[in-house]
Amino acid sequence: MFSPLSAASRLRPPAPAWLSDPKVWRTEALAGLVVGLALIPEAISFSIIAGVDPAVGLFASFTMAVTISVVGGRRAMISAATGAVALVIAPLNREHGFGYLVAAVILAGVLQIVLGALGVAKLMRFVPRSVMVGFVNSLAILIFLAQVPELTDVPWAVYPLAAAGLALMVLFPRITKVVPAPLVSIVVLTVITLAAGIAVPTVGDRGDLPSSLPVPGLPDVPFTLDTLTTIAPYALAMALVGLMESLMTAQLVDEITDTRSDKTRESVGQGIANIVTGFLGGMGGCAMIGQTMINVKVSGARTRLSTFLAGTFLMVLCVVFGPVVSDIPMAALVAVMVMVSVATFDWHSVAPRTLKRMPAGEITVMVLTVVCVVATHNLAIGVVVGSVTAVLIFAKRVAHAADVTSVTDPDGTSVLYRVTGELFFASANELVTRFDYADDPAEVVIDLSATHVWDASSVAALDTIEAKYAQRGKNVRITGLNERSARIHGTLSGELTGSH
């Protein structure tokens, strides 16, 4: 007998295998707990940078993580309030107030959805590997440098506590990997400080934790064109910085986990998460490399569950267990983040053997990316500068690959020029100088079968060559154009000088 229920069950896609695996649930839950704990002081710090109440950063981390776990494209990646976003929107909050900041977060989310729909994620393929390595190494350096203030002008007991935390994270995995070493380190150091009454800086010293959940609402701003023009530049900057950090982090997690993620969905998901965060009074955010590394590389998480639980645990810890969380020594979290920075840094990229074999241009791009990011504390600037430098180095290298050889007919009535290499803006100008306009015979043949015409600059250079020969009463015939080169040459030839 036909059963509608059995038919529906056959059409329903099978549930992911991890849903029925207790080991995966344990790993994801413990990873989420560790990340939730680590998010608290970071969110408070970023709130201070943005000039808002600590609860604003904590709410943003909660809503970003929970929302992106549903709508994001990269599994196990953590999104929350970040320093890069805080730096972008801090001037807006300082000059115009909190209402304008929230409005900018919502508009930034809308822009991210638009940019995602337009395919901005596809631009990731133009980021060279040397820039990616520089991005990773600079993040590791920034994570480490962010811990330095927690280790300066502090009670002496902070240092042995931090050292003990590092030792626990190195040694404990040799005993068992069932429980994440960072969680063990945090619990043990907290118990020690409370039991021994050791006076050291704690999470509670960074600011008050919220005692209730965020409440939805509209930003307190006039809905006018003036408001839009005020927040638009900040919203656009936040959207671009947030997308760049998120897509670069997603690419890094793809490589670590040997999996692919939907970058377009991630872009749109970041926008949705920021819109939700804005309407709940948060400061917005994007992917967090440090917390993502804790989740993926240190704790071994691989699913959306860890991301969802990180946000959920964060809010539960603040609202329900606020007094307990406030007693966690900052030394424990510093030790976790130092371990993350060590694990994040690509040590192979700076090994003498690697540097000896690496082309000088690749090393230059990597170092420049690191220097720009560390100097500005802005990942977007470093990635853009590194990518542009890589393009210029590549263009220079390819431009020199273009070459011209000539063969004169024995009877002296014609000459054949054979062009090899790529013709584009960087090589086109030099091409014009490679012909003997005065002494060549009346018939000139330029063979382009071993090259490709890429742009208008190349067509303009060919037009200039023909014009120089024409001034001397000589005829030029261009041969060997492939289909695409012939199309661009046929479309633009004679149209670039303004004279017909």
User: For the chain, which ranges sit under pLDDT 70?
Assistant: 1-20, 398-401, 495-500
**N-to-C CA span, the chain:** 80
Predicted confidence at residue 17, as pLDDT, reads: 63
371-375 long-range Cβ contacts below 8 angstroms, 24+ apart = 372/138, 373/134, 373/135, 373/138, 373/139, 373/141, 373/142, 374/138, 374/141, 374/142, 374/145
Predicted confidence at residue 112, as pLDDT, reads: 95
Supply 453's token pair. Answer: 């015409």
Q: Of 41, 289, 285, which is closest to residue 147 (Cα–Cα)? A: 41
Q: Are strands 79-80 and 286-287 parallel, antiparallel or unpaired?
A: antiparallel
Cβ neighbours for 249, distance < 8 A, ≥ 6 positions apart: 74, 77, 287, 288, 289, 292
At 83, is the secondary structure helix, strand, or coil? helix
At 417, is the secondary structure helix, strand, or coil? strand
What is the CA angle 401-406-412, rounded to 5?
Answer: 170
Bridge partners of 445?
Answer: 416, 477
Give the single-character DSSP code of 442. S
Is the separation of the CB atoms in 53 and 276 below 8 Å? Answer: no
Burial 215-230 (b: 16+ CB within 10 A, else e): eeeebebeeeeebeeb
Is the separation of the CB atoms in 105 and 89 below 8 Å? Answer: yes
Instruction: Look up tokens 């304008």; give the residue.
Output: 100
Predicted confidence at residue 10, as pLDDT, reads: 53
Predicted confidence at residue 142, as pLDDT, reads: 82
At 461, is the secondary structure helix, strand, or coil? helix
Q: Output the pTM of the full model.
A: 0.72
